[in-house]
Amino acid sequence: MTQVAEPEAKRWVGGGILRKEDPELLTGQGRYVDDIALPGMLWLSFVRSPVAHATIANLDTAAAKELPGVLAVFTGQELAEEWAAAMPCAWPIGNRIMPEEPTSDARTPDHWPVAKDRVRFMGEIVAVVVADSREHAADAIEAVEVDYDELPVVTDMLDALEDGSQVIHDSLGSNEAYTWGMSNGDVDRVFAEAPVVVKARYYHPRLIPNAIEPRGVVVQPIPAQGEFTLWSATQIPHILKVLLALTLNINEAKIRVVAPDVGGGFGSKLNVYAEECIALALARRLGQPVKWTEERSEGYLATIHGRDVIQDMEVAATEEGKTLGFRVKLYADFGAYLQLVTPGIPILGAWLYHGVYQGQAYAFEATGVFTNKTPTDAYRGAGRPEATYAVERIMDALARRVGKDPAEVREMNFIPPFTEATEVLCGLSFDSGNYQATLDKAKRLAGYDDVRREQQANDGRRDGKLLGIGLSTYIEMCGLAPSQVLSALKYGAGGWEAATIRCHPTGKVTVITGTSPHGQGHVTTWAQITADALGVDPDDVDVLHGDTAVSALGMDSYGSRSASVGGEALVRAAEKIRAKVRTIAAHELEVAEEDLEWKDGKFQVRGAPDRAKTVPEVALTAWTAHALPAEVEPGLEATAVFDPPNFTFPSGAHICVVEVDPDTGSTRIDKYVAVDDCGTPINPMIIDGQVMGGVAQGIAEALYEEALYDENGTLLTGNMSTYRIPSAAELPGYVLDREVTPSTTNKLGVKGIGEAGTIASPPAVMNAVADALRFVGVDFIDKPASAEKVWRVVQEAKGQAPAERTPEGGGTGAASMTPEEEGGVA
C-alpha cells in the first residue's frame, strides 16, 4: 500500500500527554483483585512448610476441619487428581557445553501445586484451607498438624554442586539444572596471549521483587457450563490461560483470565503460580467462587525471587586497555523448582557480557543450580542486570589496571555509532546505537571532569566524606522476541504481539491490545499511537487489555516488549484500517485511490484538500453500508499480529556521584544522571517515569536489598521490616536526558524502557562506591554496599599495615593486580 511510505505528521506521538489511566487510580476507583467480592465466595489459605527440606511424615487436617467456618482442608495427596500435568516451566533448557553440540534434554523436576510427600523450600504449600471468611481461613492454618522428617538443607549454590551434596530432586541425581554455553572467536588463544587479563567474581544478591500490590486470585465458576473466570494479579493473562488449561485439563475456550488493575509486577507476576492452579482446581471441585489474597510475609516465601547469581567475569585487553575478549562463567541459584521461565533468565543475558565494547573473542557459560530456597525467576531486567553489572564493573577494574580513567577506557572500546543492524562480538546484531553520544551527554550533565578534578585535588575527600563517581554505559536486549529465535532457545511460546482497532460509527475508537500493562501507561501510549495513525483525538480512543475474553490474542507484558512489539502491531492494524478507509473514501469522493493522500489526519484529494474524508466519517459509511464499493465488507475493524525480526537494544550512560561516610559506612547519592536511548520516544513523561522507577530499584539493589537465608534454609529477611526497601527519604532526585537512535526493528523506532534503569544503575552506584573507597585503601566491595558492609571493609582496610597494601597504580590510582582477583562472594 502506497500510503505506508508517506511521511506522517506526528501530532501526539512524542508528546507528554497526561495519563488516561490516572483519574480512576487517583480516586480509589481502580479495581485490583483484592477489591473483588462475589456472592458465596469462599476464602483460601495455605499451610506452608516452615522447614526448607523434609519429607512429610504425617499430615492431620481433622482438627482444622472442625473449626468454625471451615468447609474443607485438602492435602497434596487429596488434590493430586486435579492436575493433568505438573506446573509448567515454559523455558526448559538442556546442557550445551561448548564446543559440543546440545546434548541432553532439560532436567525439569516435577513441581506440584501442593507438595505430595516432600517439601523443598520454606513456604512450599502442604495443605489448603477453604473457609467462609478471610479470618476463618487464616485461623485454621494453625490447626493443621504436620510432622516433618527433616532432610539436610542445601542453601549455598556452590556447595550444592559438590559431589556428596544432598540431592534435592532424587530423579535428577544431582543439583545441577544445566550447564549452557556459547562462544564466538578463539577465546582460549585471545585470553592466553592477551597482555592484560582482569578477572573478578561478582555476586548478584538474591532479591525480592516487592510489587506493592500482593498477589491474589479470584475464580468464578459456572459449573453447569464448565466455565471459569479467573481474576489474577498477573502480567500474563494470555499465557496463564493456556497453561492453566493444560495443567488442569480444562477446555481453554472455557477459561477467561482477567488481569484487572495490577499493582506492579517487575517480573514477579510473570508466572504460573501454585495458588492460581489451586484456586481454579477448587472452584472446579467445589463449584463455588474462591478467593485468595497473598499476605506480604507469605509473598516473601511464595512469590519468586530474583537474581542470586555468582559471576566469574574476565576481560582480556592490551596494556593500553583495548578490550580483546570477554569471558564469563556464572552460577545461578534457581531455588527449589523451575518456575515459568527460571532456566531462561541467565540466557537472557548470555549475549550481553561484552556490553557496548569491541573485541575478538567471547564466551559465556551458565550453570543453573537447585537449592532449598524459594525459586528464582524474572525480576526487572532478568539476566541483563547481571550481565551489565559484571561488564561495567570489570571495565572499571580494567581502567584501574591500565591506569586510565574509566570513561576513557570505555570510550576507546565503544562500538562506533551505527544506524542499521550491525553484528557485534557475541554474534547478535544490535539494532542501532550511539554509545559515545550518550556518555558525552551524561558526562556533561554530571560535571564528570569537575568531580574527577575535585577528587584528585582533595585526595578523594569532600567535607569529610569520600567522594566517588561511577559509570555504567549499559546495553540491554529487549522487545521479546522473534519467535524463531525463541524456538532455537527452546522457549515454549512465540514472541509476537497482537492489536485490534475497532472504529465505531460515532467516531470513537476502541483499541484491543494483547499487552497487559500494570503501571506502564499503555492505555495512554497506545491512544497516542492510534490518534496519530488515524487522525483522531486520544480522548476518543479507548484501550482495552488484560481480559482474554476481550483480547483473544496476546503475549502479555514483560521484557520491555510492549511498545516495540505490541506498539508495532498497533501501527500495522492502523495501516490496515487506513487501507480500507482509503478504498471507501476514494469510492465516496469518486476518485482513484492513488489520487488520495493521507495528510493532516485524513485522506485528501491531491491538489484539492477541501475534498477529504476522515476516518470517523468513513467509519460511519462503513457501518451504514449504504454506499460501499463492491467487495468491501461493512464495518471498520482490523487486527494485526507482529512478530519482530530482531530484539531491540536500548542503551545509555548513567553516572552516579556518591559521598561515603567512612565512619558510619553510609552512602549518600549526591547526583544521579541517566541518559537513555530507548529509540524514538512516544510519551516522554512516561519514559522518564520508567527510568526513575527503574533507577530507584537499581539503587535499592546496590545499596540496600538482599534476601538472606540461614543454614537451615530459613528466610531471615522475611517481611518488609527486615528486607529494606528504600523510601523517598533514602533515594535521590534524578537528572534525566535522552539520546535517540531509532530502532530498526519497528516503524515506531522504539526500543523499550521498562527495565533500563534497573539494568543500568547497580554498576553505576557500585562503581561510585568502589571509587570512593579506594581512597581509604579498599580494593573491592560487592553488592549491596550497605552501611554495615561499607563500614566493615573500611575497618578491614584500616587494620592492614600500609606496607602490606597492594601498590597503587597510576591514573585514577587504584589497586593494580594481574589478574585482578577482586573478592569473593561476600
Q: Is 263 in the site for another protein (CB under 8 A)?
A: yes
- Residue 809 burial (CB count, 10 A): 17
Site size toward another protein (CB under 8 A) is: 57
Smallest gap from Cβ 302 to another protein, in A, equals 13
Position among 5, 7, 37, 590 found at the interface with another protein (CB under 8 A): 37
Q: Is 518 in the site for another protein (CB under 8 A)?
A: yes
Whichever of 607 and 733 has its CB closer to another protein, that residue is 733
Residue 399 DSSP SS3 = helix
Position among 686, 769, 773, 781 found at the interface with another protein (CB under 8 A): 686
Q: Which of 28-36, 110-118, 237-245, 318-326 is the region at the interface with another protein (rule: CB under 8 A)? A: 28-36
Q: Is 535 in the site for another protein (CB under 8 A)?
A: no
Q: Is 39 in the site for another protein (CB under 8 A)?
A: no
Whichever of 141 and 731 has its CB closer to another protein, that residue is 731
| Residue bearing cell 476502541 | 510
Interactions with another protein, residue window 297-336 (CB under 8 A): 297
Strand duo 361-370 + 323-335: pairing = parallel
Whichever of 155 and 520 has its CB closer to another protein, that residue is 520
Position among 82, 108, 228, 261 found at the interface with another protein (CB under 8 A): 261
Position among 23, 40, 102, 223 found at the interface with another protein (CB under 8 A): 23
Smallest gap from Cβ 614 to another protein, in A, equals 30
Whichever of 207 and 409 has its CB closer to another protein, that residue is 207
Q: Is 29 in the site for another protein (CB under 8 A)?
A: yes
Burial readout 243-274 (b: 16 or more C-beta within 10 A, e: otherwise): bbbebbebeeeebbbbbbbbbbbbbbbbbbbb
Whichever of 698 and 763 has its CB closer to another protein, that residue is 698
Whichever of 291 and 572 has its CB closer to another protein, that residue is 291
Q: Is 695 in the site for another protein (CB under 8 A)?
A: yes
DSSP H or E stretch at residue 176 = strand 176-184
Residue 737 β-bridge partners: 675
Whichever of 3 and 297 has its CB closer to another protein, that residue is 297
Residues sharing a CB contact under 8 Å with residue 685, sequence separation 6 or more, in sequence order: 16, 17, 18
Q: Which of 169-177, 387-395, 517-525, 704-712 is the region at the interface with another protein (rule: CB under 8 A)? A: 517-525
Rounded to 5°, the CA angle 23-24-29 comes to 150
Smallest gap from Cβ 699 to another protein, in A, equals 8
Q: Is 14 in the site for another protein (CB under 8 A)?
A: no
Q: Is 543 in the site for another protein (CB under 8 A)?
A: no
Q: How far is CA 496 from CA 489, 558, 644, 680, in A?
A: 16, 12, 7, 20
Position among 2, 4, 14, 31 found at the interface with another protein (CB under 8 A): 31
The Cα 438–Cα 494 span in angstroms is 33
Rama region for 801: left / alpha / beta (φ>0; ψ in -120 to 50; rest): beta
The Cα 26–Cα 19 span in angstroms is 11
Sign of CA dihedral 511, 650, 352, 187: positive
Interactions with another protein, residue window 752-781 (CB under 8 A): 757
Smallest gap from Cβ 174 to another protein, in A, equals 37
Show the site string, 373-412: x = touches another protein by CB under 8 A, - = not: ----------------------------------------
The three cell numbers of residue 679 are: 529509540
- Helix boundaries (H) for 480-540: 483-488, 522-534
Position among 689, 762, 777, 784 found at the interface with another protein (CB under 8 A): 689
HEC sequence for 753-785: CCCHHHHHHHHHHHHHHHHHHHHHCCCCCCCCC
Show the site string, 264-283: x = touches another protein by CB under 8 A, - = not: x-x-----------------
Q: Is 214 in the site for another protein (CB under 8 A)?
A: yes
In degrees rounded to 5, what are phi and psi of residue 767?
Answer: -65, -35
- Tell me which residue of 348, 382, 361, 369 sits closest to 314, measured CA to CA: 361
Whichever of 295 and 575 has its CB closer to another protein, that residue is 295
The three cell numbers of residue 323 are: 578490550
DSSP 8-state secondary structure symbol assigned to residue 172: G
The three cell numbers of residue 143 are: 490447626
Residue 716 DSSP SS3 = coil
**CA quadruple 585, 639, 545, 693: dihedral, nearest 10:** -90
Position among 421, 685, 740, 787 found at the interface with another protein (CB under 8 A): 685
Smallest gap from Cβ 388 to another protein, in A, equals 18
Residue 543 β-bridge partners: 511
The three cell numbers of residue 665 are: 559506612
Whichever of 27 and 225 has its CB closer to another protein, that residue is 27
The three cell numbers of residue 170 are: 532424587
Show the site string, 54-73: x = touches another protein by CB under 8 A, - = not: --------------------
Sign of CA dihedral 293, 299, 301, 306: positive
Show the site string, 121-150: x = touches another protein by CB under 8 A, - = not: -------------xx---------------
The three cell numbers of residue 467 are: 567522594
DSSP string, 270-281: SS--HHHHHHHH
- Residue 710 burial (CB count, 10 A): 11
Residues sharing a CB contact under 8 Å with residue 107, sequence separation 6 or more, in sequence order: 94, 172, 176, 177, 178
Q: Is 102 in the site for another protein (CB under 8 A)?
A: no
- Judge whether 507 and 198 are in contact, CB under 8 Å: no
Whichever of 691 and 768 has its CB closer to another protein, that residue is 691
Smallest gap from Cβ 622 to another protein, in A, equals 35
In degrees rounded to 5, what are phi and psi of residue 749?
Answer: 80, 15
Residue type, 74: F
Smallest gap from Cβ 199 to another protein, in A, equals 34
DSSP string, 439-490: HHHHHHHHTHHHHHHHHHHTTTEETTEEEEEEEEEEE--BS---HHHHHHTT
Q: Is 511 in the site for another protein (CB under 8 A)?
A: no
Q: Is 519 in the site for another protein (CB under 8 A)?
A: yes
Show the site string, 713-742: x = touches another protein by CB under 8 A, - = not: ------xxx---x-xxx-x-xx--------
Smallest gap from Cβ 745 to another protein, in A, equals 26
Position among 63, 493, 692, 787 found at the interface with another protein (CB under 8 A): 692
Position among 18, 85, 716, 825 found at the interface with another protein (CB under 8 A): 18
Smallest gap from Cβ 22 to another protein, in A, equals 5
Whichever of 213 and 739 has its CB closer to another protein, that residue is 213
Q: Which of 195-203, 291-299, 803-811, 814-822 is the region at the interface with another protein (rule: CB under 8 A)? A: 291-299
- Judge whether 372 and 157 are in contact, CB under 8 Å: no
The three cell numbers of residue 791 are: 563500614
Residue 68 DSSP SS3 = coil
Position among 213, 314, 476, 532 found at the interface with another protein (CB under 8 A): 213
Smallest gap from Cβ 690 to another protein, in A, equals 8
Whichever of 136 and 465 has its CB closer to another protein, that residue is 136
Is residue 319 packed enough to be buried (19+ CB in 10 Å), middle (13-18) or exposed (0-12)?
A: exposed
| Residues of this chain that bind another protein (CB under 8 A) | 18-19, 21-23, 25-32, 34-35, 37, 134-135, 210-214, 261-264, 266, 293, 295-297, 518-521, 685-686, 688-689, 692-697, 719-721, 725, 727-729, 731, 733-734, 757
